[in-house]
A = this chain, B = another copy of it.
Amino acid sequence: MQYYDLTEMTWPEVEEALTTVRMAIVPVGAHEQHGPHMNESCDAVLATEMAKRLAAVLHPQVVVTPTVNMGVSPHHLNFPGTISLRPETLLAVLRDMVTSLQRHGIDKVLFLNSHGGNQGTLGLACASFAQELGIECYYAKTTVAAKNALKEHIHSPLYGHSCEREVSEAYYLAPYLVRPERLVKGDIVDGGRWEGLRPGSPIQGFYRYEEMTRNGCIGDATKASYEIGEAIVEEALAGLAAAVRALLTEPAARPADRALAT
């Protein structure tokens, strides 16, 4: 698997790579509890692994940057070990990364994110950086593009955290994240406030993860497998690669607006 990753390169190698690189991929993860059967670094590792694979597919047009290995996880803070950044801190980190990348001539950036709690901040980041820094700025959930595989393999009504989807991805991408002997279903709290606040409800709001699940998982991790992970990851990579290629072949994308003011 051949790809460019800044963490594994010397500066003359980066200089050489920059002659073909047109976009940076920034892996964005989290450090938070993942129930009794996954390491807390799960999101950081999965984002990194997905970024490398996507970079291999798109080689030599993209380069992977260092991973943002902590994210916005306040809803998990009552579980031991979780480290959470405030949204403004994550914004500051991303801004500094983008500014540094611009110094090296890179003006397209994709935040490849494995943690749902970061999505709101990433949306704001892309809008702000596009306007203020004149950069083309994108973000993507790592495996959301795998619509068919998810439909086929994931059946829990409530999933998305240390569930059969995430554990399957880990089996395929980084199996050391999983404690196979401890896999359990989510221990869901029935009738809680959270039920009225899930995506799709008329109202949304902040609730703590322990309001929803006593063991920190949802879905049913016991149904996870390497094969499901492979199906999800590979479909997602194909979808991401196609989307990035489309953006890289746009003839005249015009992300910056500072010159547009009347």
**Which of A65-73, A153-161, A225-233 contacts the other chain?**
A65-73
Q: How far is the CB of A34 from chain B (nearest CB, A)?
A: 7
Copies in the complex: 6
Question: By the criterion CB–CB under 8 Å, are A131 and B206 in contact?
Answer: yes
- Given A6-B40, A77-B257, A121-B124, are A196 and B70 neighbors across the interface (CB < 8 Å)? no
User: A82 near B69 (CB under 8 angstroms)?
Assistant: no
Question: A89 within 8 Å of B by Cβ?
Answer: yes
Which residue of B has the minimal Cβ distance to A202? B145
Contact B84 A126 (CB under 8 A): no
Contact present for B255 and A206 (CB under 8 Å): yes
Task: Quote the shortest CB–CB distance from A29 to chain B (angstroms).
Answer: 9
Interface residues of A in 23-76 (CB under 8 A from B): 31, 33-41, 44, 65-67, 69-70, 72, 74-75
B31 touches A10 (CB 8 A): no
- Docked complex: A226-262 residues within 8 A CB-CB of B: 236, 239-240, 242-244, 246-247, 250, 253-255, 257, 260-262
Interface status of A81 (Cβ within 8 A of chain B): yes
Question: CA–CA, A87 to B128, complex, Å?
Answer: 9
What is the chain B residue whose CB lies nearest that of A143? B202
Contacting residue for A6 out of B83, B197, B204, CB 8 A:
B83
A82 to B96 Cα, complex, angstroms = 11
Does A139 contact B205, Cβ atoms closer than 8 Å? yes
B137 touches A7 (CB 8 A): no
Task: Given A74-B127, A96-B89, A182-B10, answer yes or no on A202-B83 (Cβ-Cβ < 8 Å).
Answer: no
- A195 vs chain B, min Cβ distance (A): 9
- The answer to the question of A1 belonging to the interface, with a C-beta cut-off of 8 Å to chain B, is no
A97 part of interface (Cβ distance < 8 Å) = yes
Q: A9-B39, A41-B66, A80-B262 are in contact. List 12 more A-B contacts (CB 8 A).
A: A6-B41, A10-B35, A69-B69, A75-B127, A77-B257, A78-B260, A82-B104, A83-B96, A88-B88, A145-B202, A193-B247, A207-B255
Q: Please determine whether B78 and A97 come into contact, CB atoms closer than 8 angstroms.
A: no
Q: Are B83 and A196 in contact (CB under 8 A)?
A: no
| Chain B residue with the shortest CB-CB distance to A250 | B193
Instruction: Find A10's partner among B11, B37, B145 (CB 8 Å cutoff).
Output: B37
Q: Check if A167 is an interface residue, CB within 8 A of chain B.
A: no
Tell whether, in the assembled complex, residue A80 and residue B104 are in contact, meaning their CB atoms are under 8 Å apart.
yes
In the assembled complex, the Cα of A180 lies from the Cα of B38 at a distance in Å of: 37
